Structure 1
Amino acid sequence: MKQYIFNIHDVVLLMTAAECLLLAVFQSILPTRARHDGRLLTAFLLIIAVASACTLILWNDQFSLAPWFEQTLLPYLLFAALLLKGPAIYLYVCSLTQQKLSLNHRHILHLLPALVGLLCIAFFSISSNDLRHASDAGQSLPSTAIEFVWDLASLVPFAYAVAALLRIRRYRHALKDEYSHFSETELHWLSALTWGVCIAWSWTMVVHVVAKFSSDVVADYMGIADNYLAFILINAFFAYSLTYAHQLLITKPEEETRETSSEEEPSEPAIAKVRNAMEGDRIFLKKNLNLEQFSERIDLPAKEVSAVINKHFGTNFFEFVNSYRVETAKALLSDPEKADMTVLDVLLESGFNSKSAFHRFFSRLVGMSPTEYRKQALAAADAS
């Protein structure tokens, strides 16, 4: 009878490892940008390649490698990869969403979970056979250590995925503090992918828990589904890197943001300058206006302008500027002499440069679409 070395599920792992290696090579030869996102994505791809290859070798019974590699070195490679994939994806998200992310000595702390796992493997001399038969080893101390390492490998990546989601949430708030317009498409895709990672790694945790209390068959099928999810996510992240990642707007480092938020109450002259720029100079009519441009125009530091908008006006830069734009659009839409202007003309005249953003923001503030508002306003003008 013909013996097959790999079944279809093994092939998925093999394809994941091979594709990650190819994509990492391709990513490394792309033009280098100032940010670290390309290098961090390459690191993430290599880590997933190692994790997939080691998982395949650990659980495949049809072929064997040198004993020193398969029994001794393999656990170190496997758990180093499993415990580093979380920090890699978190730092990748940080590099996409933060201006001039500089990797420094503080980021070494992200290596601690991997270091703890590897020290545990070394101290208890855990081999591949131990990892495969952890549930059969009883309640001895080495068995507890093996369970701890597996628990760590399932919990740490999930915790980092949640941290990446929180980082994206902070990034969205930072965009609203610094820009009057930004595209939601790239941000939605990054959120969706990070949610995908969070769901996939939460599934890994579920598989790990189920494996302790159910049959091996159920655990195997759930683990196979986990491998398919990893394959899909790798392709999605690489496609995102090529298509959307470079279009994300950068924001200030979090240290500067915290410094701004701790400022004292803004002065009256600063408040007057900001108000005059909006009501007198109508600076909000400038398309794609951002905080830096605004601050240069009125000759105030950006952090002082931000403090005025946040603390005195009680809003963020995005809401502040676009509320003035909506008021201008309302005036144009309700003017009988401007009835021949199209909605597109109105939004451009008001400082917006995106039809979808204009409709979304106008409807939220006014409670109806621009077309409905125009009909009601013109009807009221005719009646009077």
Structure 2
Amino acid sequence: MDTHIFNIHDVVLFMTMIECVLLALFQWALPVTTKRLASALLIGFLLITGIQSLCILVLWNDAVHISTFFDLHIVPYLLTFAVLAKGPALFFYVLSLTQHSFVLKRKYLTHLAPVAAAWLCLVFFAIDSDDLRWRSATATATSQQVVNYLWHATKAVPFMYGIAAVFVIHRYYSKLKEQYSSIPSSEPSWLSVLTIGFSLSWAFSIFVHIGAQFLSAELSDWLGISENYLIFILINGLFTYSLAYAHNVQTTKAEEVTKAPTEDRPDESAIRKVKSGMEEQQLFLEHNLNIEEFSTRIDLPVRDVSGVINKHFGTNFFEFMNSYRVDEAKRLLADPASKDMTILDILLQAGFNSKSAFHRFFKRLVGMSPSEYRKQALQATKAA
């Protein structure tokens, strides 16, 4: 009666598996939103992670059995699928959240090529769970080498997709600044933190895999086990993010739609229209204005607006709009008639909708805080 089937580390794997299934069901049961594909990809990523946890549990815990055939012959296929498909699942989830009208295309099936290659190796060399654990009495030198290559691939492939996802988010930040005048900091930053977190966990897995050749068996086991805890934490973070922020994430248009023209010098009439929109219509005062709305209001194609802002003014739409908002805030702060307005009132009236963004921009462009600027400006006015 003193025999334990699970230790605390196996409990974490079991909890991860169960939680992934429950979270996937919960995500599926949520009301339909505009980001259906993102929701479906998140469900897929959760289920893939759950399958991976199940397979690791069955593979390495001798006390856990489903059936002899399943444990010995099915687990290798499920495990290689889960480990090699989790990277593409996260990558496409990030794409579906950040890109406007993103759709899955048939050509994307090529991202499952590593899974197909791994399965061919499993079939051709008749590799089973004992081979994966290096416990087979009939293993040949060739099959052992293939197993080594399979483990190398299962560590390297997810990490490469993690890096690709981080790169997508980096480009996403740049595109947001080309297309939006206000960017909520919490939404993309959370996505960035989680994506980097998964990438680092997969990098850590590579480190443990390589380090196992030089470290003691006990230390290698502890390092490998710690990855399971990290994945458990990241899965919870990813689901929490999807509930709190994913439905509000700003998407970006395709680069072809907003890319500035290739001419060196923008047309003078286009420059006048952009200036008119800012100086006469004062469109920068409108909260959450994006480049498409701005182009419509000044009757100028988006590409031409981008060309004027990028090449004539040497900046992006985000910086361009907020520089005008800072100038308006400076005017209000220096105006004795506005001395009873709070800083919050002023930043909202100037077109900002984020206190942190306002203070960041103001200090960077003016060199002091809004309160300091107001104090100096009003003192100078009084002295005059």
Shorter-normalised TM range: over 0.9
- The CA deviation at 1:47 is 0.3
Per the alignment, in what secondary structure is the counterpart of residue 103 of structure 1? coil
**1:97–1:277: structure 2 CA closer, same or farther, 3 Å change rule?**
same
Map 1:221-260 onto structure 2 (within 5 A). 221-257=222-258, 260=259
Is residue 334 of structure 1 aligned with residue 319 of structure 2? no
**1:261–1:146: structure 2 CA closer, same or farther, 3 Å change rule?**
farther
Aligned partners of 1:134 and 1:147 also within 8 Å: no
Greater displacement, 230-239 / 106-115: 106-115
Map 1:1-384 onto structure 2 (within 5 A). 2-35=2-35, 36-133=37-134, 140-257=141-258, 260-261=259-260, 263-265=262-264, 266-384=266-384
C-alpha separation in 2, matches of 1:248 and 1:242? 11
Paired residue type of 2:205:
T
TM-score (norm 2): 0.94
C-alpha separation in 2, matches of 1:357 and 1:131? 52
**1:113–1:254: structure 2 CA closer, same or farther, 3 Å change rule?**
farther
**Where do 5+ consecutive residues of structure 1 fail to align?**
none
- The CA deviation at 1:348 is 2.5
Aligned partners of 1:130 and 1:146 also within 8 Å: yes
Paired residue type of 1:129:
D
**1:114–1:303: structure 2 CA closer, same or farther, 3 Å change rule?**
same
Q: For residues 244-278 of structure 1, what are the alpha-carbon distances to aligned partners after superposition, in whole Å with 9 as ceiling and x for unaligned?
A: 11121111124535xx2454343221111111111
C-alpha separation in 2, matches of 1:108 and 1:255? 24
- The CA deviation at 1:123 is 2.1
- The CA deviation at 1:136 is 10
**1:255–1:77: structure 2 CA closer, same or farther, 3 Å change rule?**
farther
C-alpha separation in 1, matches of 2:351 and 2:19? 46
Paired residue type of 2:263:
E
Paired residue type of 1:282:
Q
C-alpha separation in 2, matches of 1:156 and 1:98? 23
**1:87–1:136: structure 2 CA closer, same or farther, 3 Å change rule?**
farther
TM-score (norm 1): 0.94
**Where do 5+ consecutive residues of structure 2 fail to align?**
none
Aligned residues: CA RMSD: 2.0
Paired residue type of 2:325:
R
Percent of residue pairs identical: 52
**1:113–1:213: structure 2 CA closer, same or farther, 3 Å change rule?**
same
**1:342–1:158: structure 2 CA closer, same or farther, 3 Å change rule?**
same
C-alpha separation in 2, matches of 1:221 and 1:311? 55
C-alpha separation in 2, matches of 1:218 and 1:342? 58
Per the alignment, in what secondary structure is the counterpart of residue 213 of structure 1? coil
